[in-house]
Amino acid sequence: MALNRRAFLAAASATALTPLPAAALKQSGGNQDWTWAAGGGGNIPPAGALPDTRWLMPVPARRSFQDRRFPLTEQFTVAVTGYSDGRLERAISRVLAQMNDRTGFGWDIYGRTQSNEATLVVKCGGKGNEIPAMDDDESYTLEVIKTGVQLTANQVVGVIRGLETLSQLIEADSEGPYLPWCSIQDQPRFRWRGLLLDVSRHWEPVDVVKRTLDGMAMVKLNVLHWHLSDDQGFRVECKTYPKLAGMGSDGNFYTHEQVRDVIAYAADRGIRVLPEFDMPGHCTSWLVGYPELGSAPGPFHIARVFGILPNAFNPANQELYPWLDKFFAEMTALFPDKYFHIGGDENRGPQWNVNPEIQRFMREHHLANNAALQTYFNRRIAPLVAKHGKHMVGWEEILNPELPDDVAVEAWLGIPAVNEIARQGHKALLSAGYYLDLMWSAERHYLVDPIPADTPLTPEQQQRVLGGEAAMWGERVNPEEVDSRIWPRLAPIAERFWSPRDVRDINDMYRRMGRISVELEDAGLHHRSNPQRLMSWLSNGADTQPLAVLMAALEPRQGYGWSHSKTVFSPLVYVTYALPPESPLRRELPAMVEQYLADSPRFAARRDDLEDLFASWQEALPGVEALAAQQPMLQEMAPLAADLAECGRIGAQCLDYLAVGQRAPAQWKTQTLAKLTTMAPVQADVRLIVLDPLKGLVIAAAG
């Protein structure tokens, strides 16, 4: 039977079987037969060759596979025994719909049978928490044997997690789709596995939030940290203080009904929604409508630029605290989660330093500096949050010896901060190392661990480390770009939070990420399609192939300091926004060069591959120059296309020297390496990623 093109076969074939050099093979465990790398096309190995991670992401805690198959056919039935409710039924229907797409079958996603001979038998012990909570039991067992599939969990949320694993187990060969026989016992390593989504710097509509939740559920994340206020916007309707959203949002905010809809949507997927309202800094949007809360006289305007602004609440104003009490009363009732984030970061207090009232208050209360004043503020608001039944959460700047023990603290500066938070007796979260807006590689994020193997924490202190959160800050994303900045790199981070610490094979991670990326797009994310649309727009309907060749050799600038997106009105329509954060060529080109230089019969085709690649770089230059002449936003690409064409010429020269066994002159080597070095600086918020492998090829050509 022909499979649906959107099925997992498309995902599998998008991940290439690429033999890697000895160093990479050593890292992957010494498998000399094959190792996977993301990108390109290639052959799919037989099922027996797959490692026990299969195509699963995150990898289950314990799993075993047999080299036997359970065929999937048109006849697929589901029985539910034990507890069942609407959330469980909807989860089954969602995942069956995904499996339909991946197999091409037309299963009845709503039909259920009472027969224990059903294809899939779901056994659920009980409902669990009415609202997703940190003590949810997410464990499950999954068995695939000759007679069918059995999924067992203590609570509905465990069924939800197990169903996602079942969906990822689908494989196929010439005989059709099937499930491998397996036994899986799974539970998360960390209880708190989140994504911060900043909707304040750039507004993200409800449909963006929902599709993000869909992706989070697929990789078993369980907390949406919704960053709802900042200098650039206050994004939630507040009936107690209507000018918050009325004057501080440019009309872009969520109504109470929309918030409840998102919370219910998340709950259906076993995801908590943690609201963040930043204070006492990052509060310009609050002060637009309520300037009397500020430390400066105002008037205030919604911030249109990014960075750390001076505006802050006035902690000496005793009317601030009953005002916030009423605000907390409304927002804690709207958001049911037991945790409530108050921000607290990056408040440097310049307005406090020049406000006579605040300085007098600090002297009267023996507050030595601005940090002490913020501690006073935190001590005043923590009981207010607790009064409304919530545990306060804040960034690490709120940490001090006077902080109540039940306050959780999130570290954005590193593992040492997590350790100190736990030592001081607080629940700790790690976001450092998981900032998606920094455009780091998936590998770099993947190797950051909230509790690394060499942790100095005692077992008791380790229990206070709840987990971590990736952070998608919103300065450089809008509804068109946000998916490509989150996915698929969030999937390996989710694995770090869920899977055992020793699951950290980089090559295997990229192999599996290649498939989950396609599955995420198939489920409604736009991280692959939206960049293609932007590239077509930049090309003005002309042939995009020359631009695609250039873009494959580029990655966005890492870190901050971008020349584009300086204000909320900056158009995010330059090439850097159409680039994925990580190009497959970053990993593929070094492997191709090393394999070619290994001079092994296994890699005989690598010369042809490199020759074709270098030729394509040179051939792309006229096309990019022609596009740049017609499209102003592509003009900055012309110099980069010229650099890439020169790289292609240099690469071809290297191949010529190596082909005839003639050592390149020393002067050529020196001049060529110097030329490549001059290309290294970042240009137009992008960087060429082919320079280092080419330098290695130049050195090899010179003997």
Residues annotated as catalytic are 346
| Strand partners for 339 | 391
Q: With contact defined as beta carbons under 8 Å apart, do 124 and 153 qualify?
A: yes
Separation of alpha carbons 475 and 329, rounded Å = 30
Separation of alpha carbons 102 and 625, rounded Å = 41
CA-closest candidate to residue 419, choices 456, 384, 446, 449: 456
Separation of alpha carbons 532 and 547, rounded Å = 11
Separation of alpha carbons 247 and 308, rounded Å = 21
Separation of alpha carbons 642 and 250, rounded Å = 43
Tell how strand 428-430 and strand 171-173 pair up. Answer: unpaired
Separation of alpha carbons 516 and 448, rounded Å = 20
Q: With contact defined as beta carbons under 8 Å apart, do 193 and 506 qualify?
A: no
Token pair recorded at residue 122: 């779901």
Residue 115 neighbours by CB distance under 10 Å: 11
DSSP string, 35-98: -EEEBS--PPPPGGGS-TTTT-SSPPSEEEEEEEEEE--S---EEEEE---HHHHHHHHHHHHH
State the residue for tokens 């309707």.
Answer: 237
* Percentages of the chain per state (helix, strand, coil), in multiples of 5: 45, 15, 40
| Strand partners for 177 | 172
Q: What are phi and psi of 630, to 5 degrees?
A: -105, -20
Cα 403 to Cα 61, 365, 395, 409, distances in angstroms: 36, 17, 12, 10
Separation of alpha carbons 410 and 430, rounded Å = 6
